[in-house]
């Protein structure tokens, strides 16, 4: 049972985090909306019409879930990475460290903030998508569960990144060199089944493949992977990353000398 002190502390961190990205909405909410609109225009409308069908759906409908997922992933990650790093940089992270806030509340608060931004941007992108195509929903619960778990995974990733980061450059390295490639190769733009067998095998070690496909299943009812496998992968990542984040904060890595 959570004590009321911890509950209020958690609410405060969440409140602070949500207020942060809302305050700087021009930097946090507008760019993903523009980027994803461009994807819709270029891949969906211009090129998509020539590609024809993918997985039994027109190309635009096929990529919409993947593009929503892509924006959820980048935004939940970068929200926590920038926010926590800047709290370290400005040293206001000490406000939490001196207070009787348990580590799990700190982790949960930041992750909750990252999830909020990821999911909010996901909603914005979904609205934009409605200008380009109709969106059907096959199973809303799969959609909600996948988006929540995925945003949690990447919010945790962003937190761990920020803990180790020593400069602002360090929080853009992982998104540029790891997240973006994994996302592009994660079945956002194509069905894995189109790949030669070898590359299909390689794709199976890319966790984003599972997230994108589970999410797409929620909308279209099609998936390149088993749903149960996808949720197992998500679960394992959340547990592993949560444990890592807790360990790092407890040790005070990058926080206490």
Which residues are near another protein by CB under 8 A? 3-6, 8-9, 11-13, 15-16, 19, 23, 86-87, 90-92, 94-102, 252, 256-257
Sorted by sequence, the CB contacts under 8 Å of residue 89 that are 6+ apart come out as 168
For the bound state, the minimum distance from the C-beta of residue 16 to another protein, rounded and expressed in Å, comes to 5
For the bound state, the minimum distance from the C-beta of residue 36 to another protein, rounded and expressed in Å, comes to 27
Q: b or e along 15-35 (b: 16 or more beta carbons within 10 Å of the residue's beta carbon)? A: ebbbebbeeeeeebbeebeee
**7 or 177: whose CB is closer to another protein?**
7
Q: How far apart are CA 127 and CA 138, in angstroms?
A: 17
**Neighbour count for residue 50 (Cβ, 10 Å):** 7
**8 or 130: whose CB is closer to another protein?**
8
**29 or 97: whose CB is closer to another protein?**
97
Q: How far apart are CA 79 and CA 117, in angstroms?
A: 7
Cα of first residue to Cα of last residue in the chain, in angstroms, is: 32
**16 or 204: whose CB is closer to another protein?**
16
For the bound state, the minimum distance from the C-beta of residue 70 to another protein, rounded and expressed in Å, comes to 28
For the bound state, the minimum distance from the C-beta of residue 157 to another protein, rounded and expressed in Å, comes to 23
């Amino acid at each position: 049972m959570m004590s009321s002190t911890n509950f209020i502390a958690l609410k405060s961190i969440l409140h602070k985090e949500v207020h942060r990205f809302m305050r700087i909405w021009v930097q946090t909410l507008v760019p993903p909306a523009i980027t994803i609109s461009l994807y819709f225009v270029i891949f969906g409308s211009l090129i998509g019409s020539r590609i024809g069908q993918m997985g039994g759906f027109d190309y635009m409908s096929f990529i919409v879930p993947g593009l929503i997922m892509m924006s959820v992933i980048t935004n939940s990650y970068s929200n926590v990475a920038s926010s926590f790093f800047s709290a370290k940089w400005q040293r206001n992270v000490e406000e939490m460290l001196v207070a009787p806030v348990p580590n799990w509340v700190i982790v949960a608060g930041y992750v909750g903030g990252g999830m909020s931004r990821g999911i909010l941007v996901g909603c914005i992108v979904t609205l934009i998508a409605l200008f380009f195509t109709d969106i059907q929903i096959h199973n809303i619960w799969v959609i909600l569960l996948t988006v929540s778990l995925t945003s949690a995974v990447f919010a945790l990733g962003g937190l761990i990144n920020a803990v180790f980061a020593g400069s602002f450059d360090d929080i853009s390295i992982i998104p540029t060199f790891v997240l973006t490639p994994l996302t592009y190769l994660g079945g956002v733009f194509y069905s894995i089944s189109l790949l030669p067998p070898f590359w299909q095998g390689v794709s199976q070690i890319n966790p984003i493949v599972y997230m994108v496909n589970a999410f797409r299943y929620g909308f279209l009812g099609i998936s390149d992977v088993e749903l149960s496998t996808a949720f197992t992968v998500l679960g394992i990542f959340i547990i592993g990353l949560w444990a890592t984040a807790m360990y790092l904060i407890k040790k005070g890595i990058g926080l206490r000398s």
